[in-house]
């Protein structure tokens, strides 16, 4: 859409409020709203001022004046507001004359734009496609607290096996799934068919083309909705809109959605397997008939770059302390830094296909806490570094490994590199290995330094607090 078309859309639909959304550095949507009379064509070039010092990862209080510059192509009518509201996703800039404002280095959308520009400048490819699969849990009740004398978290789901005896005096009809038994059950065990379908219809109404939806392995309400891949920036925009739609559709029915990687002990965590491929002139570059998994040499170099830099990428791909409660060796987690065809126990899976257009690389360690703009950009930069330096994964011990890695002995696994075991380890890896991200000015040092500081503060907050399990282990020591 053009700015003129956005104004027409607002008028034709009786819009009264315009909402401006943007991503903070960790990757969460922020917003503020104005009456519709503020919206004008000039606003799309002049922007609107806001206080950048109150946004995570942005400005200090003495340099707080910032601008949001709305992107007309992202306009949509918000289906969750009672007052007719038009929503726009924004870029962030320093104040300046219209059209000449300096983009803000820590704006995640700006980093994604630069990544796409850098790809084109290399001549290797002109388009990078990404397809994330963000899993989530639907809960019926959530309680948590962290204070001086109390640490606890409690979640509940009508589907959960622990409710087999019923709650209070409520009836129980059974049909509950066993732990890790939630993959593809039909109703009445799967109680979320209609809710997911409404989520799908809401997504499609907002321009997100859905490919499938289903219950996931986690038996206490884990689900997945897959949408069609797209270009880097566009797909990152859609992922934040995806989260917004999923959470608010669930809330409409008194339910709560979390994209937290590991909300339940003993059952599956929620990942965000990320598919990616490079194209040039409308032609796929990852396919070569007869090669291993029909991969081209360029695709192998791309894989080599991602696996070589995987420890530092994990600081962005698995960006929470909770992420590493999912990425635990020995528990069917994608922690092994090898590639393999059709093998879900490897960090990189090559989906089986005979189609050149469908040939792609799937990186499995990420989870939905990742900032998609930063994640997709980092993966692209790592892959390009592998291509530029001709890093063939087989020459560096990254496979292919076409066997069940989960059934390998400790001795066998000792020969295979693994992802970092904590957020701290990943942050250290990022500090020691980030030159590939700085190529072409895509990431800048101030972004990485601020990002590491933010994440280290989060890790410190967790490290300082006793966990409930520690009381059962050590109270009587």
Provide the annotated binding site for Mg(2+). Answer: 133, 135, 216, 224, 273, 362
Provide the annotated binding site. Answer: 133, 135, 211, 216, 224, 227-229, 268-269, 273, 275-277, 326, 332, 344, 357, 362, 364
Does residue 475 fall inside a structural domain? no
Provide the annotated binding site for L-glutamate. Answer: 268-269, 326, 332, 344, 364
Does residue 1 fall inside a structural domain? no
CATH number at residue 35: 3.10.20.70
**Of 104, 134, 150, which marks where a domain is finished?**
104
List, by residue number, the catalytic residues. 51, 133, 135, 216, 224, 273, 344, 362, 364
66 and 203 share one domain:
no
339 and 365 share one domain:
yes
pLDDT of residue 421: 95
172 and 261 share one domain:
yes
62 and 23 share one domain:
yes
pLDDT of residue 3: 97
**Of 104, 130, 157, which marks where a domain is finished?**
104
Its pTM stands at: 0.95
pLDDT of residue 343: 78
Question: What is the span of the domain harbouring residue 96?
Answer: 14-104
130 and 77 share one domain:
no
CATH number at residue 337: 3.30.590.10
145 and 207 share one domain:
yes
302 and 418 share one domain:
yes
**377-434 pLDDT tens trace:** 999 999 999 999 999 999 999 989 888 887 888 888 788 899 999 999 999 999 999 9
254 and 355 share one domain:
yes
Does residue 390 fall inside a structural domain? yes
49 and 137 share one domain:
no
Provide the annotated binding site for ATP. Answer: 211, 227-229, 275-277, 344, 357
Does residue 115 fall inside a structural domain? no
**33-44 pLDDT tens trace:** 999 999 999 999
Low-confidence residues in the chain, pLDDT < 50:
none
Does residue 112 fall inside a structural domain? no
pLDDT of residue 169: 62
316 and 386 share one domain:
yes
Does residue 116 fall inside a structural domain? no
370 and 397 share one domain:
yes
Q: How many domains does the chain have?
A: 2
Does residue 171 fall inside a structural domain? yes
pLDDT of residue 332: 75
Does residue 113 fall inside a structural domain? no
42 and 127 share one domain:
no
pLDDT of residue 62: 75
3-state secondary structure the chain: CCHHHHHHHHHHCCCCEEEEEEECCCCCEEEEEEEHHHCCCCHHHHCEEEEHHHCCCCCCHHHCEEEEEECHHHCEECCCCCCCEEEEEEEEECCCCCCCCCECCCCHHHHHHHHHHHHHHHCCCCEEEEEEEEEEEEECEEEEEECCCCEEEEEECCCCHHHCCCCCCCCCCCCCCCCCCCCCCCCCCCCCHHHHHHHHHHHHHCCCCEEEEEECCCCCCEEEEEECCEEHHHHHHHHHHHHHHHHHHHHHCCCEEECCCCCCCCCCCCCEEEEEEEEECCEECCECCCCHHHECHHHHHHHHHHHHCHHHHHHHHCCCHHHHHCCCCCCCCCCECCEEECCCCCCEEECCCCCCCCCCEEECCCCCCCCHHHHHHHHHHHHHHHHHCCCCHHHHCCCCCCCCHHHCCHHHHCCCCECCCCHHHHHHHHHHCCHHHHHHHCCCHHHHHHHHHHHHHHHHHHHCCCCHHHHHHHCCC
pLDDT of residue 312: 98
Contacts of residue 297, defined as CB under 8 A and 6 or more positions apart, other chains included, come to 288, 291, 392
């Amino acid at each position: 859409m053009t700015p003129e078309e956005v104004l027409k859309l607002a008028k034709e639909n009786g819009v009264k409020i315009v909402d401006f959304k943007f991503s903070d550095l960790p990757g969460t949507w922020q917003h503020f709203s104005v009456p519709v009379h503020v919206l004008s064509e000039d606003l799309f070039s002049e922007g609107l001022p806001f206080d950048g010092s109150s946004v995570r990862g942005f400005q200090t209080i003495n340099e707080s004046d910032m601008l949001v510059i709305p992107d007309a192509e992202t306009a949509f009518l918000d289906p969750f507001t009672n007052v007719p509201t038009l929503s726009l996703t924004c870029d962030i800039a320093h104040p300046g004359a219209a059209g000449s404002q300096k983009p803000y280095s820590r704006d995640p959308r700006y980093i994604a734009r630069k990544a796409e520009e850098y790809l084109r400048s290399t001549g290797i490819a002109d388009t990078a496609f990404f397809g994330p699969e963000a899993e989530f849990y639907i809960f019926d009740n959530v309680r948590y607290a962290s204070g001086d004398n109390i640490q606890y978290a409690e979640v509940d789901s009508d589907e959960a096996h622990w409710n087999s005896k019923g709650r209070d005096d409520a009836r129980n009809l059974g049909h509950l799934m066993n732990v890790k038994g939630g993959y593809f059950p039909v109703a009445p065990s799967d109680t979320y068919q209609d809710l997911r379908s409404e989520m799908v219809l809401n997504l499609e109404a907002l321009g997100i083309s859905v490919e499938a939806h289903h219950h996931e392995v986690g038996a206490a309400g884990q689900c997945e909705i897959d949408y069609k891949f797209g270009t880097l920036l566009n797909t990152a925009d859609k992922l934040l809109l995806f989260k917004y739609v999923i959470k608010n559709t669930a809330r409409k029915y008194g339910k709560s959605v979390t994209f937290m990687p590991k909300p339940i002990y003993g059952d599956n965590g929620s990942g965000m397997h990320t598919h990616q491929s490079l194209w040039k002139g409308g032609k796929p570059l990852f396919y070569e008939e007869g090669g291993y998994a029909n991969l081209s040499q360029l695709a192998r170099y791309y894989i080599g770059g991602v696996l070589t830099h995987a420890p530092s990428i994990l600081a962005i791909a698995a960006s929470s302390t909770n992420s590493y409660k999912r990425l635990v060796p020995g528990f069917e987690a994608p922690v092994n830094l090898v590639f393999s065809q059709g093998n879900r126990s490897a960090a990189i899976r090559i989906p089986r296909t005979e189609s050149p257009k469908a040939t792609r690389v799937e990186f499995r360690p990420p989870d939905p806490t990742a900032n998609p703009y930063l994640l997709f950009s980092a993966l692209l930069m790592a892959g390009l570094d592998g291509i530029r330096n001709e890093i063939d994964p087989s020459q560096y011990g990254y496979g292919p490994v076409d066997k069940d890695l989960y059934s390998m002995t400790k001795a066998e696994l000792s020969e295979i590199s693994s992802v970092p075991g904590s957020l701290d380890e990943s942050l250290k890896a990022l500090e020691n290995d980030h030159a590939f991200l700085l190529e072409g000015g895509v990431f800048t040092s101030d972004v990485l330094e601020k990002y590491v500081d933010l994440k280290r503060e989060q890790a410190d907050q967790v490290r300082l607090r006793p966990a409930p399990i520690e009381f059962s282990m050590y109270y009587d020591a």
